Structure formats: C-alpha cells, structure tokens
Amino acid sequence: MGYLSSQVINNMGFASVGQNVLISDKASFYNSSKITIGSNVRIDDFCVISAGIGGIFIGNYIHIAVYSSLIGAGKITIGDFSNISSRVSIYSSNDDYSGNSMTSPLLPKEFTGITNADVFFEKHVIIGGGSIILPGIVLEEGVVIGAHSLVKNDCRAFGMYAGNPVRFIKDRSRNLLDLEKKFLNQVN
C-alpha cells in the first residue's frame, strides 16, 4: 500500500489534519473541506470518505481498514482509539425502502424519502468487518460490534453486540481505560 505524502494530504483541502496521518493513495475523499482528521490515523486502500452537510470528524489513534465507507449528509464522528475493520459501511443518510418514495440520488428531493441523522462513536469503539451502521446511531464508549452485524439502534457503553440486527452479547472489560492512561502518560 502506498501512502500519500504529508504535502499531498495538506493540499487536499481538509478542514484540519493532525500529525502522523497515513492515507492510502487508493482512498477516495469527497467534500474534503468538511472532513477533520486527528493525529495518528491510518486510512487504508479503497476507503470512501464522503462528507455531507454535517461533516466527518475522525479522532486520534483511528484505523479505518480497506474497503470501508463513511458517507451521508449527517455528521459522522469517530471517537479516539476507535477501529473500523474492513468493508464496514457507516451511513448518516438512508433511502426510504417502503415504496412511498423513489430511491436515487439523481432525483429531486420531493420524490425521495431520505433520512439524514448524525452518527456518533465515542472512544474505544470497534466495528467488526462487513458491518453496517445506519443513520442516527450512537455507539457509547467501548462498544464492540461483531463482524457482519447490522446496527440500527444505539448501543450502551462497554457492551459487546453482534447479529442482524445487533443484540447485546455480554459486557466488555474496562481494563483498556487503565491502559489508555498509561499510554497517554508515556506519549505526553
């Protein structure tokens, strides 16, 4: 995987970019002026990051793995120390599939029934490969989403969830919070 140089990244027109940012030369960005990228971030091959009106905010120490997408008109926020596995789709906009409206971004709004809603991940969230996050979701601190899951409801802190749709599996250890403090003391 080839990474863009820091000069190229700085010339892409992002709202802001931190330090130690690795972006694949095969990743795609749309509406870069509404995308904020923190420090110590890696975005892999074939990711699509497409910001709408609400923008996209990627925190610190974030990995977005291959073929993942963050798209939609609503605001998408990814909290520090979060990881998005490969082929994850995060939507802040979604069509109405009921048949009461038409579905296509090429149609005027009066013919569609698109839902736009913010998506918010707190710190230490992990999303397993192939999962889908729908608009309006809040994943509280430390949430884990198992692979190939559909998230259409909020998930409470330090819960492990999986399935289609997701259901609570068990609680996650909070030991990582002590490790976070130790790590931050070392780097600061």
Would the pLDDT of 105 be above 90?
Answer: no
Span 8-62, pLDDT tens digits: 999 999 999 999 999 999 999 999 999 999 999 999 999 999 999 999 999 999 9
- Above pLDDT 90, what percent of the chain? 97
Single pTM value for the model: 0.96
Angstrom distances, CA of residue 132 to CA of 87, 88, 151, 163: 9, 6, 6, 11
